[in-house]
């Protein structure tokens, strides 16, 4: 697995945890750490979005869960 894919998986997990916190507790961890809609938080949100697009591409292009032929 490429380093970019591993980084993308980590970013998507971080984004998923943040969205869980927003949905369950109305608590935005990224905004709390970096400020509400500061340039750093916007960059983090953008990186999570790009990472999610990379994971979608990875799943379609490489199909890592396909069955191995015996």
Question: What's the mean pLDDT in 32-42?
Answer: 93
> First vs last Cα of the chain: how many Å apart?
22
- Confidence (pTM): 0.81
User: Is 17 a residue whose pLDDT tops 60?
Assistant: yes
Q: How far is the C-alpha of 21 from the C-alpha of 30, rounded, in Å?
A: 10
Q: How far is the C-alpha of 29 from the C-alpha of 25, rounded, in Å?
A: 11
Q: How far is the C-alpha of 10 from the C-alpha of 48, rounded, in Å?
A: 9
Environment class of residue 5 by beta-carbon count within 10 Å: exposed (0-12), middle (13-18) or buried (19+)?
A: middle
């Amino acid at each position: 697995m490429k380093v970019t894919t591993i980084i993308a998986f980590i970013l998507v997990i971080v984004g998923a945890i943040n969205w869980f916190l927003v949905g369950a507790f109305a608590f935005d961890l990224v905004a709390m750490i970096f400020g509400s809609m500061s340039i750093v938080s916007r960059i983090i949100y953008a990186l999570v979005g790009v990472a999610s697009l990379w994971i979608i591409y990875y799943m379609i292009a490489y199909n890592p869960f396909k069955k191995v032929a015996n």
